[in-house]
Amino acid sequence: MCGIAGKVAGTGNVDPGILERMCEVIRHRGPDSRGTFLGEGAGLGIQRLAIIDLETGDQPIRNEDGSVVVVLNGEIYNYRELRAELEGRGHRFATRSDTEVIPHLYEEFGDDCVHRLRGMFAFALWDRRRRRLLLARDRLGKKPLFYSSRDGTLWFGSEPKSILQDAAVPRDFDPDAIDAFLHFGFVPDPLSAFRSLRKLPPAHILTWQDGKVATRRYWRLAYTPKRRFADEGEMGEAIRERLLEATRLRMRSDVPLGAFLSGGVDSSGVVAAMAQLAEGTVRTFSVGFDVDSFDETRYAREVAELFGTEHEEFRLEADAVAVLPTLVWHYGEPFADESAIPSLYLAEVTRRHVTVALNGDGGDESFGGYGHHLSGMVASRLGWMPHGLARGAGAIAARFSGRSSARRAGWLAHAVTLSPTDLSSFIAARFTEAEREEIYSPEFRDAVTLDAGPRVIGRVLEDSDAPTALERLLDVDVNTYLPSDLLVKMDIATMAHSLEVRSPLLDHEFVEFAASLPADVKRRGRTSKIALKDALRAWIPDHVLDRPKMGFSVPLAEWFRGRLRDLPAEILLDPGSLERGLFREGSLRRLIDDHLDLRADNARQLWALIQLELWFRSYIDPALPERPALDLGASRPLATR
């Protein structure tokens, strides 16, 4: 796990000082060593977090004659198998690292080398003979990669702040990206909050040669054809076997490793697999909250006891938001997922003990675990009904959809009238189109297109082969929420503390297998993740698997009516904030007052607006963003086992 950065130019050489600054600003991603390559108009840099081959694995890594140079962020889990194959083809290796398989695979297969890689990765490969750059990102988007292309020059980096170290790259914001952020709560790829930057989407490669840039997609998740099994027992055995294999690959490490444990289905399944594979005691880590309805530590503790792990728990309180300046600096773009706060603290606590942690990300996207999957399925099924009858049925169903009480009354009643694209867009909206129009100033409204959701989701559904309403919702999640929110949250939070996180349930072969299962074994009505839960019953008690899903969130609504009640107004109604001219002051006041007076739960909308304003203060206002001092004093230990 590392951070990479670089620059290639059609003419001249890369300034080594710029390359050093690009690396220095992401030192947190890899504090163990820095490596650079300079030559022929190219500069590649790497901040390394040493996980595999601690002694000889420093990067950049080259092939035998040095004509191919690679820097890698991530891990190639099947590197041992690939190395044996490549040695059989006559290739010679100088290290024991996973990175070294990439230049040799490139020699054999060219750009198609990405098809052979099983892992999480973002890498840059410089072909010195052809003066050609290849950038690649893993299939599901575990590792990030930003780039900027101007006048024949290309910059790239694991985080935006690397690219912004070069004064030649403008730092003005993209209005459509801001509109998309307020729709989704994150900036979806390929957009970036900076007008001059873009994200390389997951499962894509980018090539640069002679100043020309081209991108193409090399993988897409398929939901057809479907697998069939003799019975549920055979299916469960197949799921367990694949989970064990994916976990075994992710336990390859030359440094200590552990696991995040919430006590939910997914993380418990991963810990159960680890306990069977580990030679010693598994270490597990959990975070709790000062509001009981959000605190899962008692469930995590039960699973830890079940598998005899060495378990540590920490609790967060409302003053945990003191970490906001640090959080905004690390994320580099406006990012509204409030669970970034506990993720940041959990990573800090975990890094005190291990360098690698496994987690349960991915189970909901493969097996239908989110509340909005139920809402979307119901809306889709009601779509055939006459309009008036559908609205009435929708209003009743909305009461059970999981939406907050103030917004759910008309939510599903409206959703049943929408096309599949508009339905998915409506489900994903933190601010709907109408709500954004309400808060935007006339000037900012004129600067945006207001079609962020339909545009992003329409592109996914146009290319999807998902045959059912549930699987279309899953495909949208896999291509939007998963890479642009969930994986961004975890990558940035953990890399801020030089911690590597691996996700067995996001092994692309496991995800492909799950996609091939019939939709009715994933979710039926309110019963979610059926096949996964049934498979795990061989390892985990029923009451753990069948308890209601809580999710990894924070009690924002309570905090904004309690100890943090003044925070939204202090930030959003500050004269400097209002002078940006993006929002109507009266609309902001109504959002705040309605929340405080219990007329609505606007906590997540207010949080998004706060994150946006703090991003402006960190990245747009100053000449260069400065890293705040990291203070995680708002967590306290609960128990160590």
Look at the block and give the residue holding tokens 């998915």. Answer: 424
Distances (CA, A) of 404 to 399, 409, 421, 575: 9, 9, 23, 31
pLDDT of residue 547: 87
Does the structure show a pLDDT above 80 at 623? no
Q: Which of 172-176, 253-257, 627-631 has the highest mean pLDDT?
A: 172-176
pLDDT of residue 401: 40
pLDDT of residue 632: 45
Candidate from 308-322, 405-419, 456-470 with smallest mean pLDDT: 405-419
pLDDT of residue 230: 92
* Active-site residue, from 2, 346, 557, 567: 2
Candidates 482, 499, 427, 416; CA nearest to 32 is: 499
Distance of alpha carbon 267 from alpha carbon 197, whole angstroms: 35
The average pLDDT across 335-339 equals 94
The average pLDDT across 335-347 equals 92
pLDDT of residue 413: 67
Domains and CATH numbers, the chain: 2-217 (3.60.20.10), 221-362+479-641 (3.40.50.620), 371-478 (no CATH)
Candidate from 492-496, 529-533, 548-552, 555-559 with smallest mean pLDDT: 548-552
pLDDT tens figures, 365-422: 999 998 888 888 888 777 644 545 544 544 444 444 444 444 554 666 677 778 888 8
Does the structure show a pLDDT above 60 at 497? yes
Does the structure show a pLDDT above 90 at 526? no
Does the structure show a pLDDT above 90 at 630? no
The average pLDDT across 589-595 equals 97
Does the structure show a pLDDT above 60 at 639? no
Three-state secondary structure of 75-124: EECCHHHHHHHHHHCCCCCCCCCCCCHHHHHHHHHHHHHHHHCCEEEEEE
Cis (ω within 30 of 0) for the bond into 454?
Answer: no
Model confidence at 552, in pLDDT bands (50, 70, 90)? low
Does the structure show a pLDDT above 90 at 468? yes
Q: How much of the chain exceeds pLDDT 70, in percent? A: 91
Three-state secondary structure of 454-478: HHHHHHHHHHCCCCCHHHHHHHHHH
Distance of alpha carbon 327 from alpha carbon 330, whole angstroms: 5
Cis (ω within 30 of 0) for the bond into 555?
Answer: no
Partners of residue 7 on adjacent β-strands: 43, 155
pLDDT tens figures, 4-54: 999 999 888 899 999 999 999 999 999 999 999 999 899 999 999 999 888
Residues in contact with 206: Cβ distance below 8 Å, sequence separation at least 6, in sequence order: 133, 134, 135, 136, 147, 200, 213, 214, 215
Three-state secondary structure of 226-271: CCCCCCHHHHHHHHHHHHHHHHHHHCCCCCCEEEECCCCHHHHHHH
Candidate from 319-333, 359-373, 446-460, 625-639 with smallest mean pLDDT: 625-639
Look at the block and give the residue holding tokens 């603290």. Answer: 345
CA 506 to chain centre: 11
DSSP secondary structure string, 585-630?
HHHHHHHHHHHHTTS---HHHHHHHHHHHHHIIIIISSSSPPPPP-
pLDDT of residue 1: 66
pLDDT tens figures, 107-128: 999 999 999 999 999 999 999 9
The average pLDDT across 498-514 equals 98
Contact (Cβ atoms closer than 8 angstroms) between residue 113 and residue 78: no
Candidate from 199-213, 343-357, 622-636 with smallest mean pLDDT: 622-636
Q: How much of the chain exceeds pLDDT 90, in percent? A: 78
23 is a catalytic site residue: no
Contact (Cβ atoms closer than 8 angstroms) between residue 547 and residue 245: no
* Strands annotated E in 367-427: none
pLDDT tens figures, 535-551: 999 999 999 999 887 76
pLDDT tens figures, 153-204: 999 999 999 999 999 999 999 999 999 999 999 999 999 999 999 999 999 9
pLDDT of residue 422: 85
pLDDT tens figures, 241-251: 999 999 999 99
pLDDT of residue 186: 97
CB atoms within 10 A of CB 53: 16
pLDDT tens figures, 47-106: 999 998 888 889 999 999 999 999 999 999 999 999 999 999 999 999 999 999 999 999
Average pLDDT, the chain: 90
pLDDT of residue 625: 63
Candidate from 150-164, 229-243, 348-362, 544-558 with smallest mean pLDDT: 544-558
pLDDT of residue 375: 83
pLDDT of residue 565: 93
